[in-house]
Chains A and B, each alone.
Chain A
Amino acid sequence: MTAAPYNYSYIFKYIIIGDMGVGKSCLLHQFTEKKFMADCPHTIGVEFGTRIMEVHGQKVKLQIWDTAGQERFRAVTRSYYRGAAGALMVYDITRRSTYNHLSSWLTDARNLTNPNTVIILIGNKADLEAQRDVTYEEAKQFAEENGLLFLEASAKTGENVEEAFLEAAKRIYQNIQDGSLDLNAAESGVQHKPSAPQGGRLNADSQPAKEGCSC
């Protein structure tokens, strides 16, 4: 009964943004299917994937919206930022231009999401060390200056992919715990399930449940 895959306490909404061809869809695919998609077609508009993972002992369902990187879809993809609890901002470590565009993506993300949205910067294609065009330190500094989480990952090898989604989820969970993320409000990007399934549930979440119970 506890093994039922729909037994989760929270739903976190994520959005993946970044230039065309940095591997957003591949990251999502690697995360949800644990496989590398070699010939990934361009995303049309937005696509969607889910996975349940454990964060601090809580089952959390991630609902991930993968946006198209092409400029012509910007108008469409912008509408998907609202109500995201986490944003994965991706660049390609072998293409400097994708890194240079980050500030524009960040501006979009800041303007269109809520203040509590957790943004994590991901340098993808970390397996192509020989073609590296953006150093780790440089990106790390950018992330620190802007208060972003940061990881280098590879959708091809799967390295750090899991961690990227998990790190953001941990931060969101922390925000819930310390009360800075108000679950009561609509479009916080997090849904909480106050009526716990009969399966064993930890006491740890009784606190947020208190906030979320009236919804």
Chain B
Amino acid sequence: MADVKVEVPTDSSAVIHSSSAASQPNNPLSRKLNKILETRLDSDKEMLEALKALSVFFTENSLRTRRNLRGDIERRSLSINEEFARIFKEVKEELESVNEDVQAMSTCCEEMTSRLKAAKEQTQDLIVKTNKLQGENHRLEVRAQVAQAFLAKFQLSNEEMATLRGSRDAPITEDFFKALSRVKHIHEDVKILLRTNQQTAGLEIMEQMAVLQETSYEQLYRWAQNECRGLTQETCDISPVLTQAMEALQDRPVLYKYTLDEFGTARRCAVVRGFIDALTRGGPGGTPRPIEMHSHDPMRYVGDMLAWLHQATASEKEHLEALLKQVTLQGVEENMQEVVGHITEGVCRPLKVRIEQVIVAEPGAVLLYKLSNLLKFYHHTISSIIGTSVASLLITIEEMHILSKKMFFNSLSLHASRLMDKVELPPADLGPTASLTQTLSLLREVLASHDSSVVPLDARQADFAQVLSCILDPLLQLCTVSASNLGTADMASYMVNSLYVMKTTLALFEFTDKRLEMLEFQIEAHLDTLINEQASYVLTRAGLSYIYSGVQQHSAEQGPLSLLPSMDSSSVKAAMVQFDRYLSSPDTLVMPQLNFLLSAAIKEQIFRQSTELVCRAYGEVYTALTSPANGYKDLENLLPRSPKQVQSLLS
């Protein structure tokens, strides 16, 4: 650039020279001038720059300066070039140092490259190894995951382990059951392992789980046992956890059974205590009064005790149901019955002692009978709770039932044998004897209490036959014996009266049909006697018996009746007059014994049937006397009444 500037002034001076020179085209000056003139200054940047540079130092436009301009410019150019050279020298030096540095770097790099190469060669092995290791690492990680999953599936977590292996008296919680069911699950799942080729692991885990299961069950059992042992209050609080424990324990029948036993024993204690309290202490402030306060009233006493036991049994059954509600084992119902049986076993002794006392005190046949029915009722009621298993309580109640029944029948037999010891003579009115009415009222009471008993029908019916034969048979015997010294009519009346009283007594009760039939039959037999007696009584008193027997004994070979002595017309006539008197007032001729009959209906029957007999007798007499063969005359006068007339008069 500086070069250009230097040249320009030269040119311009030349221009100036040429313009002042010739303007001929061939003139170099003019050519030069032209050239200058043609130069477009404003578009020539170089020129502009040169001028601009010139204006910097060419400040004074004088001749001298103009003359010196060239020198100035050259000097300036020189100095600039010198400067330039100096600077370039610096630059060169710099470049050289850079070059040096680069050289150094290059060597350094080379060195490094070689070292790297060496290192690379050296590490080649390592890299291969590392790669291998990485691969292995990955594989191991996968295996670790698998192992983790395996452990999660086939092993317990630490917490679960801790729960299961808690201290001996640690309380059992929900978590315990979760852990336990996990153990059980694992034990089940491990069986799959055994089918694969992982048998060793399978076996080991199985064994481990089995051991764990055993110890856990044992701990659970100890806990449950302890828990049950505490259930000795009247209030029996079956906690949900205990219910769960029973559910879990059902897998170990022995432990399950032992726990139930423990429960039973605890509850047994509670029930005995409660029973004794109810017997001796009663309710709050003595109301309800202790049961023993009623020991003077056997029915109430025994009834209260049994009712209490019934309620206690029902409650205990409920407790058991609560305890075992989650148990799915077969035969839970039997288990429960067994345990309820065990629980109620404790009260048997105090119950038995008390009931025996009541029975042995001989409270009388009726009460004994009522007691036996009551016992039977409760046997029935309680067995519907306990079931039909052989529970001591039921056995005790049954024993007491049998005892009371036995004592009852003993008492009846005793009564009967006392009757036979001193046979009473029939009273003058031929009515039932005092011992008969007394015995019958006993029977009535017994039957009445039977009737109101709570025993099912079929059982009652069976009892009845025995009671009836126990009382009625000796009574019948008694009546027969006491009547043995009487005359026919007296005896028959007495027997009819006695039988009638028995019949009316029995008729009020059920299941007596057979006996009633038998009594009816016996009454009929005696009625026949009485009817015959009454008929002959009437015939005798009406004077017809003589005639009638004459008619009956007469046979055709003896000739006509009228010829027989004492059968002549006048005798017959006299008898007929007498008979006519009877016809006018038939009621006057009644056997005195008939008036003693207690039943008007029977009396009426005897009267009617005996009258029929009388009519028939008259009929026979009439037929005989009116027969021409017998040779009576004036028949109309002799026998004014036809049998028909007699019959209508008498009926």
Question: How many angstroms between the C-alpha atoms of A181 and B283 in the bound complex?
Answer: 11
Tell me whether A112 and B288 are in contact (CB under 8 A): yes
Q: In the bound complex, how far is the Cα of B284 from the Cα of A11, in angstroms?
A: 17
Partner of A4, one of B243, B314, B377: B243
Contact, CB under 8 Å: B235 / A193: yes
Q: What residues on A are CB-neighbors of B287 within 8 Å?
A: 113-115
Cβ of B311 and Cβ of A186 under 8 Å apart? no
Quick check: is B643 within 8 A (CB to CB) of the other chain? no
Contact B322 A6 (CB under 8 A): yes
Whether A130 is near chain B, meaning CB under 8 Å from some CB there, is no
Distance in Å: Cβ of A140 to nearest Cβ of chain B? 28
Q: Tell me the A1-51 residues at the B interface (CB within 8 Å).
A: 1, 4, 6-7, 11, 13, 44-46, 48, 50
Chain B proximity of A188: nearest CB distance (Å): 5
Question: Is B284 a contact of A114 with CB atoms below 8 Å?
Answer: yes
Chain A residues positioned under 8 Å from B284 (CB to CB): 114, 116, 181-182, 184-188
Bound-state CA distance A194–B237 (Å) is 9
Report if A204 contacts B (CB, 8 A).
no
Q: In the assembled complex, how far is the CB of residue B239 from the closest CB belonging to chain A, in whole angstroms?
A: 5
Per-position 1/0 for B227-260, Cβ under 8 A of A: 0000001110111110100000000000000000
Interface residue B282 (Cβ < 8 Å from any Cβ of A): yes
B453 touches A82 (CB 8 A): no
**How many B residues face the partner with a CB closer than 8 A?**
42
B452 CB to nearest chain A CB (Å): 4
Partner of B283, one of A73, A78, A83: A83
B274 contacts A186, C-beta separation under 8 Å? yes
**Stretch from B74-82, B183-191, B299-307, B525-533 forming part of the interface with A:** B299-307
The answer to whether B237 and A115 touch across the interface, beta carbons within 8 angstroms, is no
CA distance A38 to B133 in the complex (A): 85
Q: Within 8 Å CB of A44, what residues of B?
A: 381, 454
Check A75 against B303 for contact (C-beta < 8 Å).
yes
- B239 x A48 contact (CB < 8 A): no
Question: Provided the pairs A78-B300, A116-B284 are in contact, do residues A193 and B274 lie with their beta carbons within 8 angstroms?
Answer: no
* CB atoms of B234 and A191 under 8 A apart: yes
Closest-CB distance, A3 to chain B (whole angstroms) = 9
Q: Which residues of B contact A194 (CB under 8 A)?
A: 235
Known contacts A1-B240, A197-B240; A215 and B288 CB within 8 A of each other: no
Which residues of chain A come closer than 8 Å to B304, judged between CB atoms? 79, 82
Contact B308 A79 (CB under 8 A): yes
Asked if A186 and B283 make an inter-chain contact with CB atoms under 8 angstroms apart, the answer reads yes
Assembly CA distance A200 to B377 (angstroms): 44
Q: Does B209 contact A (CB under 8 A)?
A: no
Would you give the shortest CB distance from A181 to chain B, in whole angstroms? 8
Q: Are B314 and A187 in contact (CB under 8 A)?
A: no
Which chain A residues lie closer than 8 Å to B306 at the CB level? 79
Interchain nearest-CB distance for A33 vs B (Å) = 17
A82-B377 CB under 8 A given contacts A4-B240, A7-B240: no
Closest to A197 in B: B239
Question: For residue A4, which residues in chain B have a CB less than 8 angstroms away from its CB?
Answer: 240, 243
Q: How far is the CA of A184 from the CA of B238 in the complex (A)?
A: 20
A90 to chain B, nearest CB (A): 20
A107 interface residue per 8 A CB criterion? no
- B-side interface residues toward A, CB under 8 Å? 174, 233-235, 237-241, 243, 274, 277-278, 281-285, 287-288, 291, 299-300, 303-304, 306-308, 310-311, 314-315, 318, 322, 325, 374, 377, 381, 451-454
> 27 A-B contacts, Cβ less than 8 Å apart?
A1-B174, A4-B240, A44-B381, A45-B454, A48-B314, A50-B318, A63-B314, A63-B315, A71-B452, A72-B454, A78-B303, A82-B291, A112-B288, A115-B285, A115-B287, A182-B284, A184-B284, A186-B281, A187-B288, A191-B234, A193-B237, A194-B235, A195-B237, A197-B239, A197-B240, A198-B241, A199-B240
- Known contacts A6-B240, A65-B311, A186-B277; can you find 20 more A-B pairs with CB under 8 A? A7-B240, A11-B235, A13-B311, A44-B454, A46-B381, A63-B318, A72-B452, A72-B454, A82-B283, A82-B291, A113-B288, A116-B284, A181-B284, A185-B285, A186-B234, A186-B274, A186-B278, A187-B282, A188-B283, A194-B235
